[in-house]
Amino acid sequence: MRSRTTRILTVTAALVAAAAVGAGGGAATFAALGSEAGSTTTVRETAAETAQPVASTSESLTVSEVYEQASKSVVEITTTIGQSSPMGEGQARGQGSGFVYDADGHIVTNQHVVDGAQSVSVRFWDGSTYDATVVGSDPSTDLAVVKVDAPADLIVPLLLGDSTQLSVGESVVALGSPFGLEGTLTSGVVSALNREMTSPNGFTISNSIQTDAAINHGNSGGPLLNSAAEVVGVNTQIKSESGGSDGIGFAVPASTVASIVPQIIASGSVEHAYLGVGVASLPEPVAAELGVPAGAMVTEVRQGTPAAETGLRAATGSATVDGQSYPTGGDVITAVDGTAISDGADLQAAIDAKRPGDTVSIIYTRDGASTTIQVSLGTRPS
């Protein structure tokens, strides 16, 4: 779905052959109902069914104490990636970070850290290195899990905190291996909440955490910790004109980790429900000016999708309201399964709460008339 957002230059925080891997943000948003290169997607994750391990504690630690408690759980991840060149086939070396998730040796990192890896190794705080296998990944949320067989005294899981309880201004700490400098700590605050990142496959990771704690290449996959040494996010991207840290970093929220990681461990992949439309959010003042109800106006219907099969109609024109351009002539989705839809994020949340194959009731308005349709959701393309 499409909604309005500000264009930013983002780079993933992984280090591959000493070069940054780029990921562009778009001027429009295209929801997990569909994907598009160069755009972001509005996605709202649901709560985990098996969110473990999770801790709830109000204990406040100093930055040094957070480091002392968490540093032995953070690892450096090194990968080898096949590479073609005019000189022939070769290998590139990739590097990122991760953290121990459970006592079985599962380690959480970013999908873009291990994407295409031919081999993966994990380096612990004491310098010991062990081969790891990729359990699975989810490019839609840029999360992955690798597994290592290492001595029990090295397998020290971190606990997940409740990222939904974060506040702007709250102290946070980033741990990882920027530029291969393992065990590096940077500290800062939560600069903003409910930001959006573009995932490796073009969807949006919503509810992302913005922080001014310095995040650089190689920090990807490392934990963002609160003052109780709980993981509240997975460091993933930075906004930068230069490619270096400008104090604007982004992390996948722990709520998403709690929902996605157990699914990766269980099956190696994650399936997301899919409608197949792009939409633009129409707030009430704008909708009133355009003479339509507030909601999510359809701007694109992808061929061969559930939305196309139901005959949903995309916008055919545009109009300017308060200096901003908005689409016109498309169906405006106003409810899903009895829940009111006031914008694109609401629609995404409603779809994301479902599973592929579920049937949902969608109410939309076209030419002033309200219509209810039943839609069987598909599976989001990878």
* Active-site entry in 115, 138, 142, 331: 142
Q: Which of 297, 277, 291 has its CA nearest to residue 343? A: 297
* Active-site entry in 220, 240, 259, 342: 220
Measuring CA to CA, how many Å separate 241 from each of 5, 193, 299? 18, 22, 31
Token couple for 355 = 């599973």
Active site residue 142: yes
Q: Which of 231, 99, 252, 250 has its CA nearest to residue 162? A: 231
Token couple for 211 = 């922080």
Token couple for 98 = 């991760």
DSSP state of 112: H
* Active-site entry in 112, 191, 227, 342: 112
Assess contact for 52 and 87: CB atoms under 8 A: no
Return all residues near 333 (Cβ < 8 A) that are at least 6 apart. Answer: 279, 295, 296, 297, 298, 341, 347, 362, 363, 364
How far does Cα 134 stand from its chain's mean position? 19
Q: Scan for tokens 């993981």, then name that residue.
A: 231
Active site residue 112: yes
Residues catalogued as catalytic: 112, 142, 220
